[in-house]
Amino acid sequence: MIKVENLHRHFGGFHAVDGASLEIREGSITGLVGPNGAGKTTLFNVIAGVLPPTSGQVTMAGEEITGMSPHELFHKGLLRTFQIAHEFSSMTVRENLMMVPGGQSGETLWNTWFGRKRIADEERALQAKADEVLEFLTVDHLRDEKAGNLSGGQKKLLELGRTMMVDARIVFLDEVGAGVNRTLLNTIGDAIVRLNQERGYTFCMIEHDMEFIGRLCDPVIVMAEGRVLAEGTIDEIKANEQVIEAYLGTGLKNKGAAE
Amino acid sequence: MRKLLLATTAVALSAGAVSAEDIKIGVILGFTGPIESLTPQMGAAAEMAMAEVNASGALLGGSTVTSVRGDSTCIDAGAATAVAERLITSDGVKGIMGADCSGVTGAILSNVALANGIVMISPSATSPALSTAEDNGLFFRTAPSDARQGVVMTEVLMEEGIDNVAVTYTNNDYGKGLADSFQAAFEAAGGTVTINAAHEDGKADYSAEIGALAAAGGDRLVVAGYVDQGGSGIVRAALDSGAFDTFHFPDGMISAKLVENFGSDIDGSSGQVPGTDSAGAGIFAAMAGDDFDGTSPFAAESYDAAALIALAMQAAGSSDPAAYKEKVMEVANAPGLKIQPGQLGLALQAVAAGIDIDYEGATAVELIGGGESAGNYRQVGYEGGAEITVKYR
Amino acid sequence: MIDLLNALVVLSNYVLIPALAYGSQLALGALGVTLIYGILRFSNFAHGDTMAFGAMVTILVTWLFQGWGISLGPLPTALLAIPFGIAATALLLLTTDRLVYRFYRQQKAAPVILVIVSMGVMFVMNGLVRFIIGPNDQRFSDGERFIISAREFKKLTGLSEGLAFKTTQGITIVTAVIVVAILFWFLNRTRTGKSMRAFSDNEDLALLSGINPDRVVMVTWLIVAGLAATAGALYGLDKSFKPFIYLQLLLPIFAAAVVGGLGNPLGAIAGGFVIAFSEVLITYPLKKVLGYLLPDRFEPDTLVQLLSTDYKFAVSFTILIIVLLFRPTGLFKGKSV
């Protein structure tokens, strides 16, 4: 689905992503883990078009998408969420969702004045869809709440909901579980699995919660120092010497061995 | 005519008595600088007077006067002082026709003329400060002080029965000087100035200024501004808000543009502008002919300044400044034989014959106070959307 | 009772009506500034001269119409010419964006760089306007000058104070209300408007929601052109047109936008009126008003003027500084400056 080849992204002398190559299989829920500073979020940003790569190539289903802008990628079905949830704070939850599908006829000035009927029909359909999404996420009671007033976890759900407003093909989730309580985390986890199975979304998620990763993801890709270190099932990863070393550092491992 | 004949004979007789000399007179004007478009006409007018004197051959037993030009720059006091110094010490001028702008005139007067005892007659310095400057009786001007207009304005308004006015002036030396001198004169004459407020030129909206003026009140609004600048804006805002119906306009406002802008809206307003109905101005302009523009500002005053120097010398019988400085006021003012431009030869002969003269010249010269022109003003009024001349004063 | 009415009339004549008209002009200007700040994320110093440009084109077209003998009867011909002013301004702004701002946007230049760039644009536009129409005052109003003039009012009511209501003041206020109503309907009820709000709210998210930034930017410039040309033409019509005036107008306009909260359209309108009323009221001498209201023996001798009219601009400055010190996000919550 997504293929990353020898990707570099440098910030001055700092090589945040330093020759990463990986592949995200269609229909998978791929986990992306690694210690802080491993380059996971930078990798996301480059794939999602927020940052241009220094060098390297990204393809989506065989088509090169390197350096495309976020709104172009959106129309190809590539979506992402943010580590710290983003929302249009002055709009209601439903309005937030209804913002999503691009290319609505109301977006041209001409239609604003002369295509009222068409816009009204479209709005009605969007509204129905937004309500359906909210129901799916079991948060329909928040429908008319201003998005700025939501809790951190609810905002994450809203982010997920946003990806459901269009037929996404692949969704990048950046620490969707961070700072979210257990109950809400389970709701999010369930939603991800259902979206994957029922609608065939491919997911790639950065996550620190190993239990959450273990429940959802296969395969899991481990990054360290801007490169891919290992790839496999969660059990394989947990047993991987190199991964333990990268996480704990050499000193700690030796210390552990001595004990 | 009998007197004149007598005079002619007298001159002929006395010709041998005083030895003829070549008297140099400095013409110090800003030939470069902000008023360089006016100074060529001013210089030419002064030199025309000198040529007329020379042609008559009547000055001090056939003496001649020669012009020595110097550049005052109008603004650079240092340069002007240096020029005057050179003219006096190396060229040996016996009098100075100049300078032009008030600042450099004051500088030359205090730094050079006073020290060397040289007479200066300025055709165009109008600052009220020069009236009180220390001059040992050496400084005169054929232009009125700006303070004079305040007095004339007061007379005009008082005659119309207005004794309660609001004043607004353009925020610069001209506006402030005029407004202050008017306020002083008006209050001395028993009038009341309810407010004396500045306005900035170049604003789009003067409703706030008019608000303040209206709050203070007054029978008439005195607008000491410029017709092309804030003055018209003030009038427009005052008319729009109904704050004032009639106005008084000093010289900066009087122009065809004012009538064009407001038409009959300003009917009943008054004003005054420098101007004279004396025959001298016309004669002078005709004499200038094609040589230069005789109606150019301060050209007539320059002619008069140069003429007064020569006439005073004649009256004193000497080209020594210390002697002839006493005679300047005498030849300029009544009583005596009225002298128009072009009659300098006649005047010189009359003076030589001991006949008193009253030099009118091109600007109806009358020197008042410490030796400055009383100025002549045309009082205007507005009727039926047109400007009319009420009278000359 | 009559005294009370007279006091009210004086206050309306010198404070309420002028401030209402001036406030409407400032509000329209501040709306443009605030939209650009919200969506393009920089303070546009060229806004004053954009207004001057719009007003200039309006004037030129007005003269053309007057030459052809087209008129609106009692209304100023300029109203017919404003659409042309808007169109020309839109063209100018889109060209400027294409030639200048787009480059810096693509570079993801810091807002302060864009501010400096806009100052450059300001000088160019100012030069352009002065080159085309000259630096002098231009008057282009025609038609009926007053809805009611001071003299008529006095005759009509028998009061000793007059109340003048100029046609241009009436037009300014009415136009401002209409324009603001349309703008708010547009921003809150239409998809394009919502895209703009979304873009202003959270640019990253807007991009990731598939909103086309180029279209949002273009629409923003078009709306700003409409606001600027209308505000500029109304100001010129009500007061007088002079290119440099618009440069000076920049201060109260920015003060209005900041006071209301940059990026917040509602705030821009409120800010416009706050600034206008403060400027007019603080420099207005209350002598006459108090004279009517107070018993004779309390009648003030002085003008009761808080600040001389020369310091009118100081009022905007002071309000601006106070707001920045104590409430940087403005009265209505905008973006922090």
Contact partners, residue C114, CB within 8 Å, separation at least 6: C40, C41, C42, C101, C104
Question: Residue B368 CA to chain centroid, in angstroms?
Answer: 12
CA distance C98 to A233: 51
Report CB contact under 8 Å: C202, A119: no
Predicted pLDDT of residue B3: 59
- pLDDT, tens digit, 9 for 90 and up, residues A117-127: 777 888 888 88
pLDDT class of C337 with cuts at 50, 70, 90? very low
Report CB contact under 8 Å: C210, A74: yes
- Name the DSSP letter for residue B20: P
- Percent of chain A surpassing pLDDT 90: 3
Question: Residue B66 CA to chain centroid, in angstroms?
Answer: 24
CB atoms within 10 A of CB B288: 22
The beta strands (E) that lie in C138-210 are given as: 146-148, 165-166
CA distance B28 to B93: 11
Q: What's the per-residue H, E or C state across C92-128?
A: HHHHHHHHHHHHHHHCCCCHHHHHHHHHHHHHHHHHH
DSSP reduced 3-state for B36: coil
Report CB contact under 8 Å: B208, C312: yes
Predicted pLDDT of residue C229: 96
Residue, of A246 and C27, whose pLDDT is higher: C27
| pLDDT < 70 regions, chain B | 1-19
Mean pLDDT for the stretch of residues C256-283: 90
Predicted pLDDT of residue B35: 81
CA–CA distances in Å: residue B204 to residues A196, B143, B201, C25: 67, 35, 9, 13
Chain C residues touching chain B at CB-CB below 8 Å: 13-15, 18, 22, 145-146, 149-151, 153-154, 162-164, 166, 235-236, 238-242, 244-245, 279-280, 283-288, 303, 305, 308-310, 312
CB atoms within 10 A of CB C98: 12
Q: Spell out the alpha helix ranges (H) of chain B.
A: 2-14, 39-56, 77-86, 102-108, 114-116, 146-159, 173-188, 207-216, 230-241, 256-262, 279-288, 299-316, 321-324, 328-332, 344-352
Q: What's the per-residue H, E or C state across chain A?
A: CEEEEEEEEEECCEEEEEEEEEEECCCCEEEEECCCCCCHHHHHHHHCCCCCCCEEEEEECCEECCCCCHHHHHHCCEEECCCCCCCCCCCEHHHHHHHCCCCCHHHCHHHHHHCHHHHHHHHHHHHHHHHHHHHHCCCHHHCCCEHHHCCHHHHHHHHHHHHHCCCCCEEEEECCCCCCCHHHHHHHHHHHHHHHHHCCCEEEEECCCHHHHHHHCECEEEEECCEEEEEECHHHHHHCHHHHHHHHCHHHHHHHHHC
User: Chain C partners of B175 at a C-beta cutoff of 8 Å?
Assistant: none
Report CB contact under 8 Å: C210, A162: no
DSSP string, B127-157: -GGGGSS--TT-EEEEEE-HHHHHHHHHHHH
**Which of A110, A104, A70 has its CA nearest to residue C222?**
A110
Contact partners, residue C89, CB within 8 Å, separation at least 6: C50, C53, C54, C57, C225, C226, C228, C229
Predicted pLDDT of residue B51: 94
d(CA B296, nearest CA chain C) in Å: 25
User: CB-CB: which of C150, C241, C309 is closest to B208?
Assistant: C309
Residue B101 phi/psi, 5-degree rounding, is -80, 150
pLDDT class of A255 with cuts at 50, 70, 90? very low
User: CB-CB: which of B207, B212, B242 is closest to C162?
Assistant: B242
CA distance A247 to A253: 10
Q: Do chains B and A touch (3 or more CB pairs under 8 A)?
A: no
Residue, of A182 and B109, whose pLDDT is higher: B109
pLDDT of residue A154 exceeding 90, the answer is no
Report CB contact under 8 Å: C287, B205: no
Predicted pLDDT of residue B4: 57
Predicted pLDDT of residue A112: 66
The residue assigned the tokens 């005053």 is B301
User: Chain B partners of C305 at a C-beta cutoff of 8 Å?
Assistant: 212, 215
Cis ω for the linkage preceding B335 (within 30 of 0): yes
CA distance C335 to C337: 6
Report CB contact under 8 Å: C201, A91: yes
d(CA C86, nearest CA chain B) in Å: 22
User: Chain B partners of C242 at a C-beta cutoff of 8 Å?
Assistant: 202, 204
The pair of structure tokens assigned to B306 is 């140069």
- Cα angle vertex C317, ends C311, C323, to 5°? 140
CATH pick for A2-87+165-258 out of 3.30.70.260, 3.40.50.300, 3.20.20.80, 3.90.1570.10: 3.40.50.300
User: CB-CB: which of C190, C212, C219 is closest to A102?
Assistant: C212
pLDDT of residue C231 exceeding 70, the answer is yes
The pair of structure tokens assigned to B207 is 């409703």
pLDDT of residue C198 exceeding 90, the answer is no
Burial of B40 (C-beta count, 10 Å sphere; 0-12/13-18/19+): middle
Long-range contacts of A212-218 (CB under 8 A, 24+ apart): A212/A177, A212/A185, A213/A31, A213/A33, A215/A189, A216/A29, A216/A31, A216/A189, A216/A192, A217/A29, A217/A30, A217/A31, A218/A28, A218/A29, A218/A30, A218/A31
User: Chain C partners of B215 at a C-beta cutoff of 8 Å?
Assistant: 14, 284-288, 303, 305
Predicted pLDDT of residue B15: 45
Report CB contact under 8 Å: B240, C166: yes
The residue assigned the tokens 């923003």 is C220
User: Chain C partners of B207 at a C-beta cutoff of 8 Å?
Assistant: 14, 18, 280
User: CB-CB: which of A71, A101, A166 is closest to C207?
Assistant: A71
B337 DSSP β-pair partners: B357
Predicted pLDDT of residue C286: 83
Smallest CA–CA distance from C222 into chain A, residue: A109
Report CB contact under 8 Å: C14, B205: no
DSSP reduced 3-state for C169: helix
Q: Does A149 touch chain C (CB under 8 A)?
A: no
Predicted pLDDT of residue A102: 65
pLDDT of residue C27 exceeding 80, the answer is yes
pLDDT class of C131 with cuts at 50, 70, 90? very high
The residues spanned by each domain of chain A are 2-87+165-258, 88-149
Report CB contact under 8 Å: C309, B241: no
Smallest CA–CA distance from C193 into chain A, residue: A107
CA distance B323 to B304: 20
User: Chain C partners of A83 at a C-beta cutoff of 8 Å?
Assistant: none
Report CB contact under 8 Å: C288, B215: yes
Report CB contact under 8 Å: C208, A80: yes
The residue assigned the tokens 């946003």 is A162
d(CA A93, nearest CA chain C) in Å: 13
DSSP string, C261-317: -TT-HHHHHHHHHHHHHHHHHHHS--HHHHHHHS-GGG--SS---SS-GGGHHHHHH
Residues 79-118 of A with CB under 8 A from C: 79-80, 82, 86-91, 95, 99-109, 112
Predicted pLDDT of residue A49: 85
Neighbour subunits, C (≥3 Cβ pairs < 8 A): A, B
Smallest CA–CA distance from C214 into chain A, residue: A71
pLDDT of residue A168 exceeding 50, the answer is yes
d(CA C152, nearest CA chain B) in Å: 10
Query: Would you say B161 and B189 are in contact if contact means Cβ atoms under 8 Å apart?
Result: no
CB atoms within 10 A of CB B174: 19
Predicted pLDDT of residue C316: 87
Smallest CA–CA distance from C264 into chain A, residue: A90
User: CB-CB: which of A69, A82, A109 is closest to C192?
Assistant: A109
Predicted pLDDT of residue A106: 62
CA distance B173 to B328: 30
CA distance B108 to C111: 56
User: Chain B partners of C239 at a C-beta cutoff of 8 Å?
Assistant: 204-205
Report CB contact under 8 Å: C308, B197: yes
The residue assigned the tokens 């505000």 is C231
Smallest CA–CA distance from A82 into chain C, residue: C205
* Residue in B172, B192, B210, B241 to test binding to C, most C beta-carbons within 10 Å: B241
Q: Do chains C and B touch (3 or more CB pairs under 8 A)?
A: yes
Complex ipTM value: 0.77
Mean pLDDT for the stretch of residues C55-62: 95
Cα distance between the two ends of chain B: 31
The pair of structure tokens assigned to A227 is 């490169």
Q: Does A174 touch chain C (CB under 8 A)?
A: no
Neighbour subunits, A (≥3 Cβ pairs < 8 A): C
DSSP reduced 3-state for B73: coil
CA distance A16 to A56: 13
Amino acid at A62: G
Predicted pLDDT of residue A51: 85
User: Chain C partners of B241 at a C-beta cutoff of 8 Å?
Assistant: 13-14, 150, 162, 164
Element (H, E) at B119: strand B119-122
Predicted pLDDT of residue C335: 59
pLDDT of residue A6 exceeding 80, the answer is yes
Mean pLDDT for the stretch of residues A44-55: 87
- pLDDT, mean over chain A: 82
Domains with residue ranges and CATH for chain B = 2-146+277-364 (3.40.50.2300), 148-275+375-392 (3.40.50.2300)
Report CB contact under 8 Å: C210, A101: yes
Report CB contact under 8 Å: B204, C308: no
**Which of A154, A163, A219 has its CA nearest to residue A192?**
A163
CA distance B160 to B22: 53
- CA B245, B247, B252, B255 torsion-angle sign: positive
- pLDDT, tens digit, 9 for 90 and up, residues C86-125: 999 999 999 999 999 999 988 888 889 999 999 999 999 9
Q: Does C213 touch chain A (CB under 8 A)?
A: yes
CA distance A20 to A7: 5
The pair of structure tokens assigned to B369 is 């106070």
